[in-house]
Amino acid sequence: MSKKAKGSRAERELFHLLWKEGYATVRSAGSGSTSQPSPDLLASNGSKIFAIECKSIKDEKKYFSADELEQLHIFANTFGAEAWLAIRFDNKGWFFLEAKKIPKSKGKNFLVSYSQLQKEGLQFQEFIGKYMQQRLDCTKDI
Amino acid sequence: MSKKAKGSRAERELFHLLWKEGYATVRSAGSGSTSQPSPDLLASNGSKIFAIECKSIKDEKKYFSADELEQLHIFANTFGAEAWLAIRFDNKGWFFLEAKKIPKSKGKNFLVSYSQLQKEGLQFQEFIGKYMQQRLDCTKDI
């Protein structure tokens, strides 16, 4: 399977996972080929809005360019969304990391690794459930 | 030009108009071909979120099916967006109408006409400016 086909399949997988959890989600047309910033997925349940850049990889680490991350932040800030990275490792599943938490690497690149995501990343249920927990906590305060 | 190509060109035109006005906008991939509801465009400036169904037509009226409108409302309600119709008439430009304002026609169809849009529709600058006006009014009340 080509890298592009693998990426699209992963996007579609996450698209359906998000819908199942009550997030209205769109896959962006021409992501990577338009002159405007464009996240792979845009999802909201009416309270949280996520702009998500997806990657599906077989290795244990993934570089992001400064430009790719800047485009994601520009989009998210303008739209009023949170910027997240969703990385799917072969045979290990999805991990989620807030885009601002990705560490700098050499030059202008950023690097996210499986070992970092095991510590700081969220799995899908945590990614979704975390905000349910936050909402419960807010209710308590009232 | 095919109907589909004409529709895509109109979507891209509105996509760029919205970005120019400070709305982060995505065109939805597979709109009309996914099992989930999906608007043609999704745009937000961080305060207003629009789920938009676009049409580009040469005639003076356009039918929408009940299903098409229901899908738009389901998406918009789940996402937390307003549902709008954007209709581009050849040589007359864009008109915008809140989806809930489209009148019922025969059977299960809905019908929007150029004459109705001249009265009740908004032109692009009004569509954008209307909300600036509302925000100004809110500020006055404080």
Helix (H) or strand (E) holding B121: none
Measure the CA–CA gap between B132 and B137, rounded to whole angstroms: 9
Q: In Å, what is the CA distance from B87 to each residue of A117, B7, B64, B77, B125? A: 46, 10, 11, 21, 14
**Running DSSP on this structure, what letter comes out for residue A28?**
B
Q: Please state the rounded mean pLDDT for residues A88-113.
A: 92
Mark yes or no for CB contact A39/B26 under 8 Å: yes
Mark yes or no for CB contact A28/B27 under 8 Å: yes
Please say whether the beta carbons of A70 and A109 come within 8 A. no
- For position B136, what pLDDT does the model report? 52
The whole-angstrom distance between A80's CA and the closest CA on chain B is 4
- For position A85, what pLDDT does the model report? 97
Residue A137 has pLDDT above 70, yes or no: no
List, for residues B60-111, the tens digit of each pLDDT value: 999 999 999 999 999 999 999 999 999 999 999 999 999 999 988 888 899 9
Domains (ranges, CATH) in chain A? 3-141 (3.40.1350.10)
Interface of A with B in 43-72 (CB under 8 A): 44-47, 49
- For position B142, what pLDDT does the model report? 47
Q: Where are the alpha helices (DSSP H) in chain B?
A: 3-20, 66-79, 114-120, 124-141
Q: Please state the rounded mean pLDDT for residues A101-118.
A: 91
Report which of residues A135 and A2 the model is more confident about.
A2
The ipTM (two decimal places) reads 0.87
Tell me which amino acid residue A78 is.
Answer: T
B13-18 long-range Cβ contacts below 8 angstroms, 24+ apart: B13/B88, B14/B41, B14/B52, B14/B54, B14/B86, B14/B88, B14/B94, B15/A36, B15/B41, B16/A36, B17/B94, B17/B124, B18/B43
From B2, B31, B38, B105, the catalytic residue: B31
Query: A65: which strand partners?
Result: A109
Q: Considering chain B, what is the average pLDDT of its residues?
A: 88
| B44 a catalytic residue | no
